[in-house]
Amino acid sequence: MEEDLNWIKEVLAGNKKAYAHLIRKYKNPLYATVLRMTKNPADAQDLVQEVFIKVYHRLDKYEEKGSFSSWLYRIAINHCMDEFRKKSHQMKSSEVKEEDVVNGNHPEIVYLQKEKNRQLERLVGTLPEDERMIILLRYVNELSYQEISELLDIPLSTVRNKLFRAKKKMRETVKQEGGYFDELSSNR
């Protein structure tokens, strides 16, 4: 967080090149979040670029109350939601490309990982939008409950409840359908 603040101060002092450090640090996790929201790599790339432009122009409005990453994700999520509303965009259930998810070389490993990722994407995709967002922020972006609460501007108890309900729904789906995530069906 201290490193982020230093780069932000440099950008605000006129060093536009310092912004590249923030982009490099956050572009992949932000892209992963937006890709899971849009289910479309091209749309996700466009939205991430738009978010970084928006953040650059609003950098002077960042108050050091919370982490920079939480502030960044809030802008990204709000921007995506605005775009969905603007275009009456329905989230597509197309699959994520193998190369976006898998880095293995062996064909069997690639295939198994692809199938596992496909099932996980489908499981997460069956959740309502609010629960899906909390699952992604918690387990993909590894944000704390408190950061999610601040980011989505909802009470901490709501984050916990929605996360619990989302995992329960996923467990029930796995219990009914089986598959790679049978370990989810046990009450852990």
Spell out the SS3 assignment of the chain: CHHHHHHHHHHHCCCHHHHHHHHHHHHHHHHHHHHHHHCCHHHHHHHHHHHHHHHHHHHHHCCCCCCHHHHHHHHHHHHHHHHHHHHCCCCCCCCCCHHHHCCCCCHHHHHHHHHHHHHHHHHHHCCCHHHHHHHHHHHHCCCCHHHHHHHHCCCHHHHHHHHHHHHHHHHHHHHHHCCCCHHHHCCC
Q: pLDDT grade, residue 103 (50/70/90)? A: very low
Alpha-carbon distance 135 to 141, whole Å?
9
Q: Is 186 exposed, middle or buried (0-12, 13-18, 19+ CB in 10 A)?
A: exposed
What CATH topology corresponds to 1-92? Rna Polymerase Sigma Factor; Chain: A (1.10.1740)
Q: pLDDT grade, residue 82 (50/70/90)? A: confident
Q: Which CATH class is domain 95-188?
A: mainly alpha
Domain locations along the chain: 1-92, 95-188
Alpha-carbon distance 95 to 4, whole Å?
34
Alpha-carbon distance 33 to 61, whole Å?
23
- Tens digits of residue pLDDT in 13-71: 988 888 999 999 999 988 888 887 777 888 889 999 999 999 999 998 888 777 888 88
Asked if the model's pLDDT at residue 89 lies above 50, the reply is no
Q: pLDDT grade, residue 115 (50/70/90)? A: low
- Tens digits of residue pLDDT in 133-185: 888 888 777 778 888 888 788 899 999 999 999 888 888 887 777 655 544 44
